[in-house]
Amino acid sequence: MNSSPGAVGRPRNPAKDVAVLRATRDLLVEVGFQGTTVMAIARRAGVGAPTIYRRWPTKEALVEDATFGHPQPAPVPLPTGDLQTDLRAWVELFLDWLADPATRAALPGLLTAYHRDEQIYERLVLRSETDVRSLMAQLLATALPNLPQDEIVSRTDTVFDFLVAITVARAMTRGLADREGFCDRTARALRTLALARE
């Protein structure tokens, strides 16, 4: 909202933002990424298309906000002191978030957009991944206190990238099928990566 002195025009109505984001999520579930057009979103939200374009420059930006518009998918679980238990909690968190019907519907279209414009993906990383990645580094630093910082960074990148890749692939293909078994197996694999000797 632009509330600076002398600002021109009416302040943004937060209720419209909420309505547009909710309409976007609903349409993603109902008709998929391709069917979720700006005009369809505007009709569902009860606003004009110009209202949407004043807030989001593209459909992809709007879909990204509707599905990734928070600093992290959910509060990252507090460490328990057992690395495999902690990693399993991370797998559950990412899988449940990515397998959410709206997020799952959005991913193919967003991945195509990221392929066309790497700057879009970099923006997403900065807004939704960087802080979470640093929490993973803290977890590994606690679990592996004798490793130097550069090795913690390297292992964090390996574990985090594997976590993201495997949960995205699973969410897009099988969703929450065999959730418990998948989380168990993936947590064991992540622990092996974290503890691997060079």
Q: Tell me the two tokens of residue 27.
A: 């349409």
Mean pLDDT of all residues in 44-63? 94
Domains of the chain by residue range: 14-68, 83-195
pLDDT at residue 4 in the model: 38
Question: pTM of the predicted model, to two decimals?
Answer: 0.80
Count Cα atoms within 13 angstroms, Cβ side, for 123: 13
Which value, to the nearest 10 degrees, does the dihedral of the CA atoms of residues 156, 129, 172, 18 take?
A: 160
pLDDT at residue 118 in the model: 72
**What is the average pLDDT value for the chain, to the nearest integer?**
87
Confidence band, pLDDT 50/70/90 cuts, at residue 14: confident
Mean pLDDT of all residues in 34-56? 96
pLDDT at 5 over 90: no
Confidence band, pLDDT 50/70/90 cuts, at residue 112: confident
pLDDT at 197 over 80: no
pLDDT tens, position by position, 145-170: 999 999 999 999 999 999 999 999 99
What is the distance in angstroms between the CA of the first residue and the CA of the last residue of the chain?
51
- Of 8, 62, 3, the C-alpha closest to 37 is 62
Just give the CATH number of 14-68.
1.10.10.60
